[in-house]
């Protein structure tokens, strides 16, 4: 039997209404955010001077609080 990876994508919005995407693929987490956020990350208060995974973890934590 061939192994199949399941992809689950979650979408939430940060306080500014920007979509944040969190995708889990085969047990490995892959994170990214909407293109609008990528174009101007410091505008949203997270991501400036941080790596993308760090910025996403902070953004997702802020949404979950």
Counting the structural domains of the chain, the total is 1
Q: Which pLDDT value is given to residue 45?
A: 45
pLDDT at 61: 73
Angstrom CA distances, 29 to 1, 6, 10, 24, 39, stand at: 24, 12, 11, 5, 23
Would you state the pLDDT for residue 1?
43
What are the mean pLDDT values of the chain's consecutive 10-residue runs (65 residues total)?
Answer: 47 58 47 49 49 66 65
Residue 55's domain comprises: 7-64
With respect to residue 2, please indicate whether it lies within any of the assigned structural domains: no
Buried b (16+ CB within 10 A) or exposed e, 41-50: beebebbeee
**Total Cβ atoms within 10 A of residue 54:** 13
Please report whether residue 1 resides in a domain.
no
Closest among 26, 28, 29, 33 to 55, alpha carbons compared? 33
- Residue 21: inside a domain, yes or no? yes
């Amino acid at each position: 039997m061939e192994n199949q990876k399941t992809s689950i994508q979650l979408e939430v919005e940060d306080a500014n209404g920007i979509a944040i995407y969190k995708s889990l693929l085969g047990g490995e987490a892959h994170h990214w955010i909407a293109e609008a956020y990528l174009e101007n990350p410091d505008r949203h208060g997270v991501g400036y001077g941080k790596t993308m995974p760090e910025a996403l973890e902070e953004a997702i934590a802020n949404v979950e609080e």
